[in-house]
Amino acid sequence: MIKIENVTKWYGTTLAVDSVSFQVNTGEIVGFLGPNGAGKSTVLKMISTWLPPTAGRLEVGGHDVTREPLAVRRVLGYLPEHNALYDSMRVERLLRFMGRVRGLAGQRLSERMGWVIENCGLEAVLAKRVHQCSKGYRQRIGVAAALIHDPPIIVLDEPTHGLDPIQVVAFRNFIVGLRQGRAILFSSHILGEVTAISERLLIINHGKLLADSPVEELDARAKKSGGNIEDTVLDIVKTAGAPKAGVA
């Protein structure tokens, strides 16, 4: 569902993403792990058509992100790291507006409104304006807006940011429940977040994809060396060495 081949992104003289390739297939939850500034958000912005790649090819749902951006957006639910919402709108009206933007109307819009309100736990804030909501609720509103059109492909950039520990666990279970029939790419800089729900892990640093491995394999490698999965991930990053000149 998501296919990336040798994708590179330059910002002026800074190489932000360096020839990255990977796939996310239907039924998979894939974790995208890397420290702040590693290139994760840039990759996700290219997947979502926010940014064009400098080189390489990206396909989402069989659509080229450069040539068919509108088709990509129809099949994609995207939650960016910095969740931009219309602060002055009431939550219920915002979700209805987002549904209409996505082409929903009538009974289908009502059904999807009910689904996201219930599953994202928004009943208590529907009458509030977005700016009156807590950080955790704002994040949940963003997730609801991303999912209201029932997309087959979901891309989440730091989705648990602002959630308390109980909300984080509930959100993990929610995402796992979405797996069937969907491809999900889940980005975080926190190892525990991605390993808790992902079966495969992509590790990126300094714009370079360092690993694309099942979590089970990384865990087995960790146990064999007498360490834990965090030690294994750190070893992969350290072994890759320092970035080339000009790499962010």
Q: For the segment 77-129, what is each residue's pLDDT rounded down to a tens digit?
A: 999 888 889 999 999 999 999 999 999 999 999 999 999 999 898 999 999 99
Q: Give the predicted TM-score (pTM) of the model.
A: 0.88
Nearest by Cα to 8 from 20, 25, 23, 24: 20
- Sign, CA dihedral 77-81-86-89, equals positive
Q: Exposure pattern of 171-205 as b/e (b: 16+ CB <10 Å)?
A: bbebbeebbeebbbbbbbeebebbbbbbebbbbbb
Name the pLDDT band for 248 (thresholds 50, 70, 90). Answer: very low
**DSSP H or E run through 43:** helix 40-47
Nearest by Cα to 47 from 3, 85, 11: 3
Torsion angles phi and psi, residue 187, rounded to 5: -100, 140
> Which pLDDT score, from 0 to 100, does residue 226 have?
84
Cα–Cα distance for residue pair 97/89, rounded to 1 Å: 10
> Which structural domains are found in the chain, ordered by start?
1-25+41-46+53-68 (no CATH), 83-179 (3.40.50.300)
What value does the mean pLDDT take over residues 178-199?
Answer: 88
What are residue 247's DSSP bridge partners? 15
Nearest by Cα to 140 from 171, 110, 176: 171
Cα–Cα distance for residue pair 58/39, rounded to 1 Å: 16
> Which pLDDT score, from 0 to 100, does residue 23 have?
96
Torsion angles phi and psi, residue 8, rounded to 5: -130, 145
Q: For the segment 164-187, what is each residue's pLDDT rounded down to a tens digit?
A: 888 888 888 888 888 999 999 999
Q: pLDDT over 90 for what percent of the chain?
A: 60
At 67 the three-state DSSP class reads coil
Nearest by Cα to 200 from 188, 212, 187, 186: 212
